[in-house]
């Protein structure tokens, strides 16, 4: 949607550091997406005479969560952003960690985004939470006031901050990333309007 709204040239390609889902979304929107999981097995040859080729027709690099991040992808994305005139650097989000399994937190998309920030010395356009781009788009499409919305999420620095930035009421659920102790910590500056243990608690409030 960001590319469409900003009239991204249809003849330009999008290089993806991320999963198959990003490629599919871009292709459904009519864009030519390259990279993604198929570059996960590619290797680089670090020889003194080596030269890494990249597509000069890439007009945007989109970075999201990528369990198969490697040096090939980092170099490809870096060259596109640094050497292709006007190439956009877009991040799906900057989550530091995520619950990829039930027992542990794992590095989030912010880890991959941070690597490209470091190599390009550029900051990305963040289209996911807590950026308000998504909300601006929804408001235009559905014409619903944010005063009638409540943002529900399990993370203070993305979900709840997104809702606050957009002017919604916010409900934090403690069934995901943010814990009760993190919410109550004196250093935490993001306070939701409401919080509960899990989404299904809402049903108890509604009653029969």
- Chain segment 75-132, per-residue pLDDT in tens: 999 999 999 999 999 999 998 888 888 888 899 999 999 999 999 999 999 998 888 8
DSSP state of 148: G
d(CA 58, CA 131): 24
Please list the residues that pair with 88 across neighbouring strands.
60
d(CA 168, CA 115): 32
Total domains present in the chain? 2
Q: Do both 120 and 159 map to the same domain?
A: no
The answer to whether residue 118 sits within a structural domain is yes
- Nearest in space to 76 (alpha carbons), one of 47, 119, 19: 119
For residue 30, the domain's CATH number is 3.40.50.1000
The answer to whether residue 31 sits within a structural domain is yes
Which residues span the domain enclosing 168?
144-206
CB distance 36 to 22 below 8 Å: yes
Chain mean pLDDT for the chain: 93
Find the length of the chain.
208
Q: What percent of the chain has pLDDT over 70?
A: 100
Q: Do both 80 and 178 map to the same domain?
A: no
The answer to whether residue 59 sits within a structural domain is yes
The answer to whether residue 135 sits within a structural domain is no
Please list the residues that pair with 17 across neighbouring strands.
63
Q: Do both 95 and 26 map to the same domain?
A: yes
**Is the model's pTM score more than 0.75?**
yes
């Amino acid at each position: 949607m960001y590319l469409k709204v900003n009239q991204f040239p249809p003849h330009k390609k999008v290089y993806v550091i991320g999963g198959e889902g990003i490629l599919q979304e871009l292709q459904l929107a009519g864009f030519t997406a390259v990279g993604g999981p198929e570059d996960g097995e590619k290797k680089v040859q670090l020889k003194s005479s080596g030269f890494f080729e990249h597509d000069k027709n890439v007009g945007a690099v989109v970075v999201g969560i990528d369990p198969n991040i490697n040096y090939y992808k980092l170099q490809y994305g870096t060259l596109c952003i640094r050497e292709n005139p006007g190439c956009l650097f877009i991040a799906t989000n900057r989550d530091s960690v995520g619950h990829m399994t039930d027992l542990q937190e794992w590095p989030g998309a912010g880890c991959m985004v941070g690597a490209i920030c470091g190599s390009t010395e550029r900051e990305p356009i963040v289209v996911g939470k807590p950026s308000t781009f998504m909300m601006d788009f929804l408001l235009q499409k559905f014409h619903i006031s944010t005063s009638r919305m409540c943002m529900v999420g399990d993370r203070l620095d993305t979900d709840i901050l997104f809702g606050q930035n957009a002017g919604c009421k916010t409900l934090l659920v403690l069934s995901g990333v943010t814990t009760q102790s993190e919410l109550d910590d004196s250093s935490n500056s993001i306070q939701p309007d409401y919080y509960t243990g899990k989404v299904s608690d809402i049903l108890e409030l509604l009653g029969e």
